[in-house]
Amino acid sequence: MRSPPMPDTGDTPFHAGYAALVGRPNVGKSTLLNRLLGQKMAITSHKPQTTRHRILGVRTDEQGQVVYIDTPGIHQRGNQAMNRYLNRTAHSTLLDVDLAVFVCQALAWHDEDTQVLKAIARAGVPAIGVVNKIDTVQPREKLLPFLAELGARHDFLEIIPVSARDGTQVEALDALVLKHLPEGDLIFPEDQITDRPERFFAAEILREQIIRRYHKELPYAVTVEIEQFREEAGRYVIGAVIWVERESQRGILLGRQGQAMKEAASAARQNMMEFFDTRVHLDVWIKVKKSWSSDEASLAQLGYSE
């Protein structure tokens, strides 16, 4: 398959390549992806393991094309099939990219951060170090020892402090990433922003509402499957199944007289209309699949496959 023609950039070389955002859970990789792309592509929350899939976002301008890949957080917690899948997804992504963007949290180093650096080293991929959440550090001079320690931990091409939340230095990071990608033609057409189908984002938008609205443990036992997605009379008609592992969890999701689920589904529908820029009719069912997150076959059936 022939690549689209490379944009005319005069004497300036055009750079294009893949850059993986990697790090432990909750360091802000998905928020950073959304900020780099200038639009929401990945769901976010304060809970670990919000990101469960590789999410690809494409940013193209006159200088080049960066294909960013958000990955699940590499972690040591838990040994269920879901945990193994998340770690496999992140590790395997590092084998197929031109650059790793290692994201850590300012002034907060954990054993899992070390584990991520070891994965980058094993993959043999060059890396940029990103210290995120600098908006939480005052005065900023307190960052200097942490930046020096990070530089001693790995042979990074560059190290840059950023705030994905308020955008500080994110454009500078994007320029560094582009600089370290190889010269080459467009990988994706200029107007393409992801390789995921719309039904994927419908499922993620609904799952985001569940993650944000329910208590600490429940979101990890929940996944969303889109059974119906069609365009009809100028709107999207979407049928979604929320899978839980126990009947008691179904009751928690429903809430009193189903009110909790109605509110979550309504908020998800509003977000879908904004994301798809069209009217949306959303039907939601809650079903039980016992211990789905602990079973490799069930995970594959529900879309957790590489």
CATH number at residue 271: 3.30.300.20
Residue 57 above 70 pLDDT?
A: yes
Query: Of 128, 149, 179, which marks where a domain is finished?
Result: 179
Question: Based on the domain organization, do 207 and 78 belong to the same domain?
Answer: no
pLDDT at 2: 28
pLDDT value, residue 215? 76
Per the structure block, which two tokens stand in for 220?
Answer: 């990890």
User: Do 67 and 145 have their domain in common?
Assistant: yes
Looking at the domain assignment, is residue 6 inside a domain? no
Return the top range by mean pLDDT from 159-163, 250-254, 293-297.
159-163
Answer whether residue 72 is part of any domain.
Answer: yes
Asked whether the predicted pLDDT for residue 238 surpasses 60, the reply is yes
CATH classification at residue 53: 3.40.50.300
Query: What angle is formed at CA 48 by the lines to CA 45 and CA 50, rounded to 5 degrees?
Result: 55
Are 240 and 225 within 8 A, CB to CB?
A: yes
In this structure, the answer to whether residues 71 and 132 fall within a common structural domain is yes
226 occurs within a structural domain: yes
107 and 245: one domain? no
In this prediction, residue 122 carries a pLDDT of: 97
Identify the pLDDT of residue 10: 55
Its pTM stands at 0.91
How far apart, in whole angstroms, are the C-alpha atoms of residue 33 and residue 42? Answer: 7
- The verdict on 217 and 76 lying in the same domain is no
Q: Tell me: do 145 and 30 sit in the same domain.
A: yes
Task: Indicate if the pLDDT at residue 216 is higher than 90.
Answer: no
Q: For residues 45 and 156, state if they share a domain.
A: yes
Residues 121, 225, single domain; the answer is no
| Cβ neighbours of 30 (radius 10 Å) | 25
Residue 185, domain member (yes or no): no
Q: Is residue 186 included in any domain, yes or no?
A: no
Judge whether 1 lies within some domain: no
For 184, residues 6+ apart whose C-beta sits below 8 A from its C-beta are 6, 14, 15, 16, 17
Residue 290 shares a structural domain with residue 227? yes
Asked whether residue 3 is assigned to any structural domain, the reply reads no
Query: Which residue range(s) make up the domain with 108?
Result: 15-179
- Residues 277 and 141 both lie in one domain: no
What is the count of structural domains for the chain?
A: 2
Last residue of a domain, one of 179, 208, 239: 179
pLDDT for residue 218: 83
pLDDT digits (tens, 9 = 90+) for 280-289: 999 999 999 9
**Same structural domain for residues 170 and 238?**
no
Alpha-carbon gap, residue 291 to 297, rounded angstroms: 11
- Average pLDDT of the residues of the chain: 93
Q: How far apart are CA 240 and CA 264, in angstroms?
A: 13
Looking at the structure, do residues 25 and 83 belong to the same domain, yes or no?
yes
**40: which DSSP letter?**
-
At residue 306, the pLDDT reads 65
Residue closest to 67 by CA, chosen among 203, 200, 192: 192
- Asked, for residue 189, whether it belongs to a domain, the answer is no
- The per-residue b/e assignment along 50-82, b for 16 or more CB within 10 angstroms, e otherwise, is bbbbbbbbbbbeebbbbbbbbbbbbbeeeeebb
